Structure 1
Amino acid sequence: MRAAGALLVLLIAAGSAGAQGPRDSLRPVLRGGEAALQPVDVAPSGAIAQPARDTASDRARDRGGLFKSLRPLFRSRKVEKEARAQRRLREKGAICGDLAIQGEVVGRVPGRIKGCGIENAVRVKSVAGIPLSTGAVMDCRTAGALKSWMERSAKPAMSRKGGGLKSVKVAAHYACRTRNNRKGAKISEHGKGRAIDISGFRLQNGAEVSVLQGWNNRSYSKALRKMHKEACGPFGTVLGPNADRFHRDHFHFDTARYRSGTYCR
């Protein structure tokens, strides 16, 4: 009888322990005061429900917020100011970061033969307020040299002729070819976007002055020779009617630089 009672006590204790569950359970539980403050939801299966995930960052990424942007989060005031200035210039038709150079951005121009092409080309339509007869494709360095020459030489040289300079006639700009189109010659600076050929000028009164006819003309010879001479500096190479038979009817300007300095003829 006494043995039967002891057995009954053992059975009751075992049932109570089973109801409470093993103390060494692998399931994480809250401890101490945390358990009292944060209720735990238990699913019918006995699994603890996980807290809801904060999806604010996911929504920002889906909207294309800062998680998608490659632009640095913080930029200096100087950088922001320069960016705004460049946007205003582009809105006014400026290229190469200069309001005096008007045109459009072309971008990369691949060459059809090795040695030709331009990485960052622009099409210049007017320089220093003087329109070009056709949009001339070149790089910004050459466009800057053209602007400098136009302001310091071409416009002043023609200021007293027919009311001043109105426009410039472009004979050639970018072209993937050899020098003077000769077979086996080196690639021309035209093929690299570093050159422009100018064959004439139109004045405000409608008169046209060509390099071929005006070079030795009493009315325009001095002005044309002044423009030719003063191009040597802004440009690395300057060729004109006295250079050779290939340049009798135009000025060739390019921004190539040689070890010996500028080359002007």
Structure 2
Amino acid sequence: MLLAAVALVVWGSVRGRPQDLPWTPLDLGQPIGLFTGRKLTALTGDAAACRTLLTQAGVRYTALPARHERQCGYDDAVRLARGAARTTAFAPADVGIACPVAAAMVMWEWDVLAPAARRHFGARVVQVDHFGSYSCRRLYGRDAGAWSEHATADAIDIAGFRLSDGTRISVARDWTATGRSAEKAAFLREVRDGACRLFATVLSPDYNAAHRDHFHLDQAARGAAGWRACR
């Protein structure tokens, strides 16, 4: 264990990549590292630190008032704005998401969506279509059982993307696309896999039929174990 820790320090230091070390501060402007995802999830419960990171990265946002109902609600939701460091828009535009999810969305835009769109289409992602974030409900809308991460705005469901050249990409339509649309399927898988490096949970059509038309992205805090799900 000690040798592994020493090796990690040396490796991270030699490569000049602080994001590959578990104890260095998170910087949204740095490329994704080995511990970036865990650092993003660890922002849950520290809204001030999370908002400071957004500000330092040049991201425009509005902090939303706290909301509480039944066993649901949030204290750390923000609404990201287009402009400054962000060039994509949400549709619908008024979505509020927990700050750790917002921070991960920003990095996903910069480090995953943008390069994938250039590589596959030579274009930019200008809009992210979604099915919403906050919803006071239990998992799968059941009457009993665990509460969904949506119940605290710690999740968002992504339905598709619109590119600067007019291309529209839909999870429901293009996940299994072939022929002339095969590039859309490749793009969707690339951005799904990239999300797995930033979010605690990523569920896609590969998981089950309930996710056939969207990506579920969340920052579920799972205690000391900190296990992550990517399907």
Q: CA deviation at 1:180?
A: 1.7
Q: Which structure has more helix as a fraction of its residues?
A: 2
Asked if 1:197 corresponds to 2:153, the answer is no
- Kept in 2, the 8 Å contact 1:237–1:255? The answer is yes
Does residue 252 (structure 1) correspond to residue 216 (structure 2)? The answer is: yes
1:97 aligns with 2:61: no
Cα distance in 2, alignment partners of residues 120 and 164 from structure 1: 29
Q: Which amino acid aligns with 1:113?
A: R
Give the aligned partner of residue 107 of structure 1: 65
Shift of 1:102: 2.8
- Kindly state the Cα deviation for residue 98 of structure 1 after the two structures are TM-superposed: 4.5
Measure the CA separation in 2 of the matches of 1:103 and 1:140. 10
Segments of 5+ residues of structure 1 without an aligned counterpart are 1-93
153-162 or 226-235, larger mean C-alpha shift: 153-162
Residues 45-70 of structure 1: CA distance to partner in whole angstroms, max 9, x if unpaired? xxxxxxxxxxxxxxxxxxxxxxxxxx
Structure with bigger gyration radius: 1
Q: Could you state the TM-score of these two structures normalised by the residue count of structure 1? A: 0.60
Distance between the aligned counterparts of 1:99 and 1:152, measured in 2? 14
1:168-221 Cα offsets, whole Å, 9 max, x none, are: 101121111111212213111111121111101001122211011111121211
**Sequence identity of aligned pairs in percent?**
30
| RCO comparison, higher one (Cα < 8 Å, 6+) | 2
Separation in 2, partners of 1:96, 1:196: 18
Correspondence 1:264 to 2:230:
yes
Q: Per the alignment, in what secondary structure is the counterpart of residue 219 of structure 1?
A: helix
- 1:154 is aligned with what amino acid? L
Paired residues of 1:142 and 1:195 also in contact (CA < 8 A):
yes
What amino acid is aligned across from residue 240 of structure 1 in structure 2?
A: S
- Residue 28 of structure 2 corresponds to which residue in structure 1? none
Where do residues 103-252 of structure 1 align in structure 2 (5 Å cutoff)?
Answer: 103-110=61-68, 112-114=69-71, 116-126=72-82, 128-133=86-91, 134-159=93-118, 160-161=120-121, 163-217=123-177, 218-252=182-216
Unaligned stretches of 5+ residues in structure 2: 1-51
What is the CA deviation profile of residues 8-53 of structure 1, one whole-angstrom value per residue up to 9, with x for unaligned ones?
xxxxxxxxxxxxxxxxxxxxxxxxxxxxxxxxxxxxxxxxxxxxxx
Partner of 2:43: none
Q: In structure 2, do the counterparts of structure 1 residues 200 and 154 end up closer, same or farther at CA, with 3 Å as the change threshold?
A: same
CA gap of 1:132–1:100, structure 2 versus 1, over 3 A, is farther
Q: Equivalent residue for 1:3?
A: none
RMSD of aligned alpha carbons = 2.0
1:99, distance to aligned residue in structure 2 (A): 5.0
Within 1, Cα distance between the matches of 2:197 and 2:159?
Answer: 20
Q: TM-score, normalised by structure 2?
A: 0.68
State the AA in 2 paired with 1:264.
Answer: C
Q: What is the letter of the counterpart of residue 243 of structure 1?
A: Y
